[in-house]
Amino acid sequence: MASALPVDAIRTLSEQHPKPSNVHFQYGTAGFRTLGNILDSVMFRVGVLAALRSKRLDGKTIGVMITASHNPEQDNGVKLVDPRGEMLEAAWEVHATNLANAATTDAFVDALDAFVKTAKIDLSKPARVVYARDTRPSGPALIAALEHGFKAIGAEARNAGVTTTPVLHYLVKAINTKGTKEEYGVDSEEGYLQKLSTAFKKLVAGKPAIPPLVIDCANGVGAIVGEKLGAHLGDTLKLLLHNTAIDTAGALNHACGADFVKTSQRLPPSLASVLQPGQRGCSLDGDADRLIYYYLDDRGQFHMLDGDKIAALVAAFIVELTKSAGLEGEIQVGIVQTAYANGGSTKYLAERLPIKCVSTGVKHLHHAAEHYDIGVYFEANGHGTVLFSSDTTNKLSSHQPSTPAQSTALNHLINLTQLINQTVGDALSDMLLIEVVLAHKSYSGLEWDSLYVDLPNRLVKVVVPERNIFKTADAERRLTSPPGLQAKIDELVHRYEGGRSFVRPSGTEDVVRVYAEATVRSQADELAFRVAGLVYDEVGGDPAKRPAEFL
């Protein structure tokens, strides 16, 4: 190796970011995520790690995003983004966890040393990173700690400021493809907004004027980027931004945002006097990578259009376009879901398209979607995107349409590749995609909703002392541990018409999640609570403190 770790600089700065002694950190499905005020040491060390990742990949730019997404305001987190804009390679999650948990500066330096050797990192390579944060109040201090990490190891670091998670992913890919034939776009937030809005305008040109769209920004960073997007869209699509109080303490994700809507299955109270019957509304989450749509019917009844409905709408549209472009049989569209997908959606989609169920976590969905020519993946919670394989992209640019209709459809497909953020789920890009489909199909929320009927469902969490004793198989649809619990769940599920339920440990919170669905609302609720009761008893929960609804 041509050079060594700058141990002195790392030591001196590391001493300013001591690890709290009583905490164990874990790089989970969404990076490190916990209370913002205990993450200082993690940020410093992630700064160093991101630089090493860049060196390992020959100086390619690595992204670092500081956010805790839909979680409460006091939480924060950090995750690394690999050069093509995708999630950090899984093997490095373990290294991240090890480095974050070294008890002292000495232990940290030793762990780094060992890691550099085993991972064969050539320290003479350059280190390049780009980083951003959401609007959380703990963000600025955490950024300062992260920057110390960059400084300690001598990384070339670019600050992308306060922006959405998907913009950061876009930037990483745009920077790394600059000047190549895969150039992804201009490497700035402005470049991102230009790219999306230009494609959107082309896709809706000639369609009837689109009525304004109500957007719940979750009092987060989506409010900032949403406003800029609105300016780019002008009259093409008027964005009515609500819940934009990014400076109000406690407002972030509070009684608003995509997670609130999906979990509570109701309209944010703040929109009660805003959303008119028949009007389209949507909610972003705190870092604008999740999106849930909804509308009120004539009777003022709330209807939710979640990630599963988005997948159905978008996949059907793309299949139609490939047929119209004369590419039927040449380009295969496939779907990826998780066990949380509504049974109604799985049935609808499986009758029409190849479909795959994978474990929770964007990296699993993303990788599975890469196996299709065009892979549509959405989590029920509204996180998802569409991936076009490079073969498909080439096919689209070389295909010779034989009729004007084929040529139009082909152009639409090409513009979709520009509109869609293919690096990661992106609420703003997905929102424009949905608006394109609705405009093309002349659908209101009601018609979109009628594609299939959702089965009533309930998601419950059970707080447990040790979530890692819960182990799953079959894309998390069955428990293999604790022994015997799955059999009890099966026995219960059989008693409910259309019943389905599964249990898995959360990757982001110290809880076990219980999902249940059934043909009738009250039965779905009852099944969820009874399975939660089984879990509660299994972990030796105090019978006196057993939540009343766990029957």
Query: Which residues are designated catalytic?
Result: 69
With CB under 5 to 8 Å by kind, the binding choice for 97 among ligand NG1, Zn ion, none is none
513 binds ligand NG1 (CB under 6 A): yes
Question: Which of residues 289 and 476 has its CB atom nearest to Zn ion in the complex?
Answer: 289
- Judged by beta carbon distances under 5 to 8 A according to partner kind, the member of Zn ion, ligand NG1, none in contact with residue 56 is none
507 binds ligand NG1 (CB under 6 A): yes
Tokens of 35: 């209370």
For residue 432, the surrounding DSSP H or E stretch is helix 427-441
Whether the Cβ atoms of residue 129 and residue 155 lie closer than 8 Å to each other: yes
Does 345 appear as a known binding residue?
Answer: no
Q: C-alpha angle 522/526/528, rounded to 5°?
A: 120
Site residues for ligand NG1, 376-415, by CB under 6 A, read 379, 381, 383
Q: Give every CB contact of residue 457 below 8 A, 6+ residues apart in sequence.
A: 342, 515, 516, 517, 524, 528
Closest approach, Cβ 368 to ligand NG1, in A, equals 14
| Contact of 263 with 71, CB cutoff 8 Å | no
Using the contact rule CB under 6 A, the part of the chain among 322-330, 439-447, 462-470, 508-516 near ligand NG1 is: 508-516
Q: How many CB atoms lie within 10 A of CB 115?
A: 17
Q: Is 381 annotated as a binding residue?
A: yes
549 assigned binding-site residue: no
516 annotated ligand binder: no
Q: Read off the tokens for 348.
A: 């609808």
Token pair, residue 519, equals: 């043909």
Query: CB–CB of 264/383 below 8 Å?
Result: no
In DSSP terms, 501 is beta-bridged to 516
76 in contact with Zn ion (CB under 5 A): no
> Strand, coil or helix: what is 4?
coil
Q: Is 504 annotated as a binding residue?
A: yes
Count of all residues that appear for the chain in the document? 551
Residue with tokens 């937030």: 189
106 annotated as a binding-site residue: no
Residue 522 labelled as part of a binding site = no
Among 44, 200, 340, 529, binds ligand NG1 (CB under 6 A): 340
Instruction: Say how many CA atoms lie within 13 Å of 374 toward its Cβ.
Output: 29
Q: Which residue, 41 or 67, is less far from Zn ion as judged by CB?
A: 67
Is the CB of residue 119 less than 8 Å from the CB of residue 95? yes
By DSSP bridging, strand 61-66 and strand 128-133 are: parallel
CA distance 374 to 383: 17
Question: What CA–CA distance (Å, rounded) separates 449 from 454?
Answer: 9
Q: Rounded to an integer, what distance in angstroms lies between the CA atom of residue 100 and that of residue 97?
A: 5
Q: 289 labelled as ligand-binding?
A: yes
Stretch that binds ligand NG1, among 224-232, 396-404, 414-422, 500-508 (CB under 6 A): 500-508
Q: Which of Zn ion, ligand NG1, none does 287 bind, CB closer than 5 to 8 A by kind?
A: Zn ion
Considering the complex, state which of residue 65 and residue 492 has its C-beta at the smaller distance from Zn ion. 65
Counting contacts by CB under 6 A, is residue 508 touching ligand NG1?
yes
**CB of 36 closer than 8 Å to CB of 179:** no
Total interface residues for ligand NG1 by CB under 6 A:
13
- Number of residues forming the site for Zn ion (CB under 5 A): 5
Helix, strand, coil share (%) of the chain residues, nearest 5: 45, 20, 40
Looking only at residues 51 through 90 of this chain, which bind ligand NG1 when binding is defined by CB under 6 A?
69
Q: Is 328 labelled a binding residue?
A: no
Shortest Cβ 189–ligand NG1 spacing (Å): 22
Rounded least distance, CB 473 to Zn ion, Å: 28
285 touches, from ligand NG1, Zn ion, none (C-beta below 5 to 8 Å by class):
Zn ion
- The binder of 381, among ligand NG1, Zn ion, none, by C-beta within 5 to 8 A per type, is ligand NG1
- Which residues, in sequence order, are CB contacts of 541 under 8 Å at separation 6+? 462
Q: Which is nearer to ligand NG1, 412 or 477 (CB)?
A: 477
**Part of the chain binding Zn ion (CB under 5 A), chosen from 61-69, 142-150, 182-190, 470-478:** 61-69
The partner in contact with residue 29, picked from ligand NG1, Zn ion, none with C-beta cut-offs of 5 to 8 angstroms by kind, is ligand NG1
The answer to whether the beta carbons of residues 143 and 131 sit under 8 Å apart is yes
Partnered with residue 284 across adjacent β-strands are 291
Q: Tell me how far CA of residue 276 lies from CA of 9, 67, 209, 281, 528, in angstroms.
A: 59, 32, 18, 9, 33
Could you tell me the smallest distance in angstroms from the CB atom of residue 330 to Zn ion?
Answer: 35
**What's the closest the beta carbon of residue 228 comes to Zn ion, in angstroms?**
19
Instruction: Say whether 402 sits in a helix, a strand or coil.
Output: coil
Per CB under 5 A, contacts with Zn ion among 274-303 are: 285, 287, 289-290
Identity of the residue, 425 or 533, whose beta carbon is nearer to ligand NG1 in the bound complex:
425
Q: Is 51 exposed, middle or buried (0-12, 13-18, 19+ CB in 10 A)?
A: buried
| Residue 236 within binding range of ligand NG1, rule CB under 6 A | no
Distance separating alpha carbons of residues 542 and 285, to the nearest angstrom: 35
Q: Is 82 annotated as a binding residue?
A: no
Q: Which stretch binds ligand NG1 (CB under 6 A): 85-93, 317-325, 387-395, 503-511?
A: 503-511
Does residue 513 have a known ligand-binding role?
A: yes
Please report, in range form, the residues annotated as the binding site: 69, 285, 287, 289, 379-381, 504-508, 513
Please report, in range form, the residues annotated as the binding site for substrate: 379-381, 504-508, 513
Residues lying near ligand NG1 in the complex (CB under 6 A) are found at 29-30, 69, 340, 360, 379, 381, 383, 506-509, 513
Residues lying near Zn ion in the complex (CB under 5 A) are found at 69, 285, 287, 289-290
Please report, in range form, the residues annotated as the binding site for Mg(2+): 69, 285, 287, 289
